[in-house]
A and B are shown apart, each in its own frame.
Chain A
Amino acid sequence: MTDAPKAAAAGRAQMKTELPERFRDYKHVWVFIEMERGQVHPVSWELLGEGRKLADRLGVELAGALLGPAGPATEAAVREAVSYGADLVYLVEHPLLGDYRNQPYAEAMTALVNTYKPEILLLGATTLGRDLAGTVATTLATGLTADCTALAIDGEGSLAATRPTFGGTLLCTIHTLNFRPQMATVRPRVMAMPEAEPGRQGRVVRHAVDLEESRIVTKILDFIPDLSTNKVRLAYADIVVAGGLGLQKPENFRLITDLAEVLGAEYGCSRPLVQKGWVAAERQIGQTGKTIRPRLYIAAGISGAIQHRVGVEGADCILAINSDAGAPIFDFAHLGMVGDALTILPTLTEAFRRHLAVDRLAG
C-alpha cells in the first residue's frame, strides 16, 4: 500500500483524470460472486448491496461475475445474485471451477474482464478474494484498493475507496486514476446485508473458457471442511459477548461464555487473550481478527484500542463494561457501565437467565 510522502501524493492527487482511450469503453459495476464448493460467501451479497448504490449513482448496470461448475448450486447462486440487486450475471461454467484454485479462477476472471470491460470490480476480502484479486490486478496492471470500509463515487465519476491504514489509526481514500477496472476488496460484514427481492428479473451472460486439468499445476489432494459443530460463526452472530485483559485471569473467561450461553450468543475476545493462549485465535475480534456486525455487542474488560474498535463498530448497540471511566471504549459504545466486570457479568447473566425463564414459563 502506498506509503507516499505527503507532498508528492498531494501533487499526484491533483492530477487530471484523463482516461486513456483504451479504457473509454469500460463501463458498469461488477461484483465477484464468491462461490466455493457450491457455497456462496455472504460477503458477495453485501457487496451487491453496496454495488447497487454505486451503479445507481453512475447510472450504469450492476453485474455479478460468477465462476462455478454447471449445476443447481450455480443456478441458485445466479438467481440469488439477481435477487440481491444484480441486473445481470456473467457466468463462467466449467467443471474445474468447483474448488478454488488461483490459476483457473484468475484465467477465467481475467478473460471476463477483458471481454466485457467493467469500470469497477469489487471482491470480498476473504482468503479467496484476496488471493484472486492480487493476481487479477497484477495481470491487468490496474490499481487495487484492499480491505475497504467505505466506497463512494466522486464528482468525476471515479471510485473513492476508503480504507483503514496504519492499523486503523488513520483512514485514507484511494483512487485509481487512468486505469480500469478500478478494483477494490471489502471485508465481510463491513457492508450491510441488503434485503433480497425474490422475484426480481435479471439476465445471464454465459462465457466459455478453455480450461484443462493437465494445464493446472496445483492439485487439490483433499478438502477438510470446518466441522459445522464447532465452527465459530462470530462474524454472522446476532449477539456477541467478548472479554479482554480486564478479566485478569483465564478462569474468569467463564463469565463471558456463561453470559453468551444464556443469550444464545457467540463469544469472542481481544487480541491479548489470544496471544496469552486463553482463547482460540478464531475468536479474536478486531483488525487482525474477525469483523463483527451483531445487533448487540457486549464488551467486558476491553479498553477499546483502535484495532479492536474497527472490528466492532458496525454493531447496532455496544454495551461496554470497564472499570476505567476514561477507557476509549466509552467513546464508541452506546451503553456503558463503569465497574468491575467480574461482579457485573454474573449479575447480568443471572438477570437474563431469570428474565428468560419467565418467558419460558409464559411461552
Chain B
Amino acid sequence: MNIVVCIKQVPDSAQIRVHPVTNTIMRQGVPTIINPYDLFSLEAALALRDMTGGTVTVLTMGPPMAEESLRKALGYGADRAVLLTDRFFAGSDTLATSYALSTAIAKLAEEAPIDMVFCGKQTIDGDTAQVGPGIACRLGLNQLTYVTAVDGLDAAAREITVQRRSEGGVQVLRTKLPVMVTMLEGSASIRRGTLPDLLRAARAPITVWNAAAAGIEDVQRCGLRGSPTVVKKVFAPKPRAEKAKLIDVKGRRDGEIAADTLAALFAALPKLEGDLARQAVQA
C-alpha cells in the first residue's frame, strides 16, 4: 500500500489568546502541535502499512516551520515527508487547500500510484472537515469519512471494508481503492516510535516543494486568490453583559441553600416546575 497522510500543524488552541485591545490573535508563544485528529488517521495508516507493506508519506502544506510536525510524524514511523511551502499558499481556504494538496498528491502518484489518502476528521484551527472531501473529489477517490474502524483490506481485490459513523448508527461500507479516509477520534491512539525510528526521523531529509515543484501550474488557484471565501471580520465573542446571579452558600444550611436554588430556578424558568411535576406524576 502506498499511503499519503495529510497532516496540519496547528496552534494549540487551548493556549490561544485574544489581544484584549485590538482583538487580534496573539500567536506569540503559542505552541504548535500536529492537529490532534490527524494522529488517529496517521496511526490507522501506519497500522495498514505494517500489515500489508508499502510506504506512508506524510504531507503538509504550511510555513517552513511545519517541518517540525513532519519530523515528528516520521518519528512515529512514517517513511517519508513532504512539505509544501510557498508564499502563494498563504491565506488558502478549504477549496484552495484541497487544490494544492491534491496536486501534490498527484505529483507523488507519478513516482508510485497512491492507494490511499488519509486526512484528519477536521482541524482544530479551521475546523471545517472539508479539506479531506475536497481532496477526494478532486482526485476522484472514493470517500470514507468518520471511519471508526478498518475491518479489512484486500490488497489483491483492491477493496477496503470500514465502519463509518453516521447520525443514526454505524454503516459498514466496502469500496474500491484508491480511497480517501478520515478517521474518527478515539479509533486508536498514535503509537510511540522506537528510538531507532526517532533517530531515523531526526536524520531523514524532508522533501520541500514550492508550488512549481508540486506541479501547480496556476498559482491563481492557490492561497488568497484561489479562495472563494473571504474573511471579512474577526472578533472576540462578546462577553455576556451580566454575570451569574449568585446564590448564597457560605455558612448556610443545606436546606436553605437548596430551597433558594429551587426557587431561583423556578423563577428563571417559569414552566419548569410544572413540567417536572407532570413528569414525576407520570413516573
B123 and A1: CB pair below 8 A? Answer: yes
The interface residues of chain B lying within 8 Å CB-to-CB of A320 are 244
The interface residues of chain B lying within 8 Å CB-to-CB of A307 are 13-14
Chain B residue nearest to A184 in the complex (CB) = B229
Q: Does B212 contact A (CB under 8 A)?
A: no
Q: Does A56 contact B (CB under 8 A)?
A: no
Please, how many angstroms separate the alpha-carbon atoms of A178 and B226 in the complex? 12
Please, how many angstroms separate the alpha-carbon atoms of A170 and B91 in the complex? 17
Contact of B126 among A3, A101, A223 (CB under 8 A): A3
The interface residues of chain B lying within 8 Å CB-to-CB of A12 are 224, 230
The interface residues of chain A lying within 8 Å CB-to-CB of B191 are none
**Count of chain A residues with a beta carbon within 8 Å of a chain B beta carbon:** 109
Q: Does A151 contact B (CB under 8 A)?
A: no
Residues from 137 to 172 in A contacting B, C-beta threshold 8 Å: 137-139, 141-147, 160, 163-172
Interface SS majority for chain A: mixed
Q: CB-defined interface of B233-244 with A at 8 Å, one 1/0 digit per residue?
A: 111110110011
Contact of B258 among A147, A335, A348 (CB under 8 A): A348
Q: Does A334 contact B (CB under 8 A)?
A: yes
A133 and B130: CB pair below 8 A? Answer: yes
Please, how many angstroms separate the alpha-carbon atoms of A144 and B277 in the complex? 46
Given A225-B168, A307-B13, A316-B269, residue A131 in contact with residue B261 (CB < 8 A) = no
A134 and B90: CB pair below 8 A? Answer: no
The interface residues of chain A lying within 8 Å CB-to-CB of B268 are 316-317, 334-335
Residues from 247 to 297 in A contacting B, C-beta threshold 8 Å: 263-264, 281, 288, 295-296
Contact of A137 among B95, B168, B169, B255 (CB under 8 A): B95
Please, how many angstroms separate the alpha-carbon atoms of A105 and B30 in the complex? 41
B240 and A296: CB pair below 8 A? Answer: no
Q: Does B204 contact A (CB under 8 A)?
A: no
Q: Does B43 contact A (CB under 8 A)?
A: no
The interface residues of chain B lying within 8 Å CB-to-CB of A334 are 244-245, 268
Chain B's nearest CB lies how many Å from the CB of A299? 11
B16 and A337: CB pair below 8 A? Answer: no
* Interface size grouping (class) on chain B: 35 or more
Candidate in B98, B247, B250, B275 with the most chain A CB atoms within 10 angstroms: B247
Contact of B280 among A164, A173, A363 (CB under 8 A): A363
The interface residues of chain A lying within 8 Å CB-to-CB of B229 are 2, 143-145, 174-176
Chain B's nearest CB lies how many Å from the CB of A189? 13
Please, how many angstroms separate the alpha-carbon atoms of A174 and B98 in the complex? 18
Chain B's nearest CB lies how many Å from the CB of A4? 4
A295 and B269: CB pair below 8 A? Answer: yes
Q: Does B227 contact A (CB under 8 A)?
A: yes
Which of these binds chain B: A88-96, A192-200, A350-358? Answer: A350-358
What residues of chain A have their CB less than 8 Å away from a CB belonging to chain B? 1-6, 8-9, 12-13, 15, 34, 36-37, 39, 41, 99-103, 106, 125-128, 130-131, 133-135, 137-139, 141-147, 160, 163-179, 217-226, 238, 263-264, 281, 288, 295-296, 305-307, 316-320, 329-339, 343-344, 347-348, 350-352, 355-357, 359-360, 362-363
Query: Can you offer 19 A-B residue contacts whose CB atoms are under 8 A?
Result: A8-B224, A106-B137, A134-B131, A138-B138, A141-B95, A142-B95, A146-B130, A164-B127, A169-B16, A170-B23, A171-B235, A175-B229, A176-B230, A218-B173, A218-B174, A223-B166, A226-B170, A331-B244, A351-B258
Beyond contacts A138-B133, A165-B234: 13 other A-B pairs, Cβ-Cβ < 8 A, are: A2-B227, A8-B91, A37-B168, A127-B145, A127-B146, A127-B165, A128-B167, A137-B134, A296-B269, A318-B244, A343-B254, A356-B277, A363-B280
